[in-house]
Structure 1
Amino acid sequence: MGFTSQSGEKNNPVVRAESELSLEVVILIVFGVFMLLFGLLLFRIQTGELPYAPDSTYGLFLVIVSFQVITMGKTPFGDLRRSWAVIVLGVCTAIVGMVACFIPGLLAEPVRILVGILLSAGGVALLVQLFFSEDKARVWLKVPGALQHLTVACGLVYVVSIVLGIITLLPGITTDTVTAVFLVIYGIGFFYLSWSIQKVGRLYPPGEAE
């Protein structure tokens, strides 16, 4: 069931192709843009050419994460049933992120630690699920093409997430230049992951017999 304009947009292949992007893919693209832009700007920030408020960056990250949690039940630690408890958790995370954005300095340490835990512990949890779940990498790697790309993309994003989480939890453990490089790789990894998910979604539509 759908709505169609008199101009016949429903049968327009261009319009149909545009609508094929799932919400998950769109959010991953947003993550990719965020991380890539952050990484590129960090090269200028470290020289003092650009102003920088870490709290605002961490806060924006939490807002994007909370949007993913609220809309799809996808958390940094894995997928959960989209219950009221999950939605409330997502809203609370969004509030913390917004406060950090609006009032830099108020939640500096708590927000930094929270983001570091989400990145590092979440990356470990997702990496373990990827390779030890019976319906993920063990199956995907046996099928040439899109599913193998999905496995590589997931592994790349999860590993870099762990590294960035450790860097966030332990400030000064590395240089800003190295951090910027990892952020750029992270952003590219999200683009690769979004492409892989989109490709897999087209080849193996939900509900279709395997």
Structure 2
Amino acid sequence: SLEVVILLVFGVFMLIFGLLLFRIHTGELPYSPDSTYGLFLVIVAFQIITMGKTPFGDLRRSWPIIIIGISTAVIGMLACFVPGPVSALVRSLVGVLLFAGGIALLLQLFFSAEKARIWLKVPGILRQLTLACILVYVMSIILGMVTLLPGITTDRETAVLLIVYGISFFYLSWCIQKVSRVYPPSETKAQVGSQ
């Protein structure tokens, strides 16, 4: 599914960033934080525009949501093309999206009647999906704090966090793919309709 593909892209982005950060730290590779933040915003914007999935939860695709997605992409592209003028804006924006978004998604996971409350009652892949979501959301919160408060971790620690974050995206994408095979959307809708 498109959702799985975008999650895999996020995973690859975070994993590559984490691995390269070890060499960036030593000065072996050049690095522009603005371009990294900008690329992240472009990927987030693609997810918002195509699926209505925001860092704060799922919303129905509508013109306001699409406009927000396009605006996010424009800010991200501007940061990629012209590093410097929007440094503080993109760093703060990425930090807020990760930190506040992670908190919002974690709360939705546990307080929504259709998510963890049901998933944890069913043995198997749904429990793993809950674990994968928790892992991604908690890592989002931690990396949001690291982005908003630079200096609270070393580059090496941040690199390890990014690698764990990337792997957690791979795990989440695998869980979603597995869930869609075990519980096909057409069957789920049919079951809900018959109740």
**TM-score, with length taken from structure 1:** 0.89
* In structure 2, distance between residues paired with 1:157 and 1:169: 18
TM-superposed CA distance for 1:119, in Å, is 0.1
Name the residue aligned to 1:17: none
After superposition, the CA RMSD in angstroms is 0.7
* In structure 1, distance between residues paired with 2:24 and 2:110: 37
TM-superposed CA distance for 1:87, in Å, is 0.3
Name the residue aligned to 2:50: 71
* Residue 26 of structure 1 pairs with residue 5 of structure 2: yes
Per-residue deviation, residues 46-95 of structure 1 (Å, max 9, x unmatched): 11010000000000000000000000000000000100000010000000
* In structure 2, distance between residues paired with 1:44 and 1:154: 30
* In structure 2, distance between residues paired with 1:93 and 1:133: 27
Q: How does 1:66-105 map to 2 (within 5 A)?
A: 66-105=45-84
Name the residue aligned to 2:180: 201
Name the residue aligned to 1:135: 114
Q: How does 1:36-185 map to 2 (within 5 A)?
A: 36-185=15-164
Give the match's secondary structure for 1:207: helix
TM-superposed CA distance for 1:44, in Å, is 0.6
Read off the aligned partner of 2:98 and give its amino acid letter.
L
More helix by share: 2
TM-superposed CA distance for 1:122, in Å, is 0.1
* In structure 1, distance between residues paired with 2:24 and 2:94: 20
Per-residue deviation, residues 110-146 of structure 1 (Å, max 9, x unmatched): 0000000000000000000001111100110111111
TM-superposed CA distance for 1:197, in Å, is 0.2
* In structure 1, distance between residues paired with 2:186 and 2:138: 30
Give the match's secondary structure for 2:48: helix
Read off the aligned partner of 1:207 and give its amino acid letter.
S
Q: Which structure has the greater CA radius of gyration?
A: 1
* Residue 35 of structure 1 pairs with residue 14 of structure 2: yes
% of aligned pairs identical? Answer: 74
Aligned residues: 189
* In structure 2, distance between residues paired with 1:137 and 1:31: 23
Read off the aligned partner of 1:130 and give its amino acid letter.
L
Name the residue aligned to 1:11: none
Give the match's secondary structure for 1:135: coil
* In structure 1, distance between residues paired with 2:91 and 2:71: 16
Query: What are the ranges of 5 or more consecutive residues in structure 1 without an aligned counterpart?
Result: 1-21
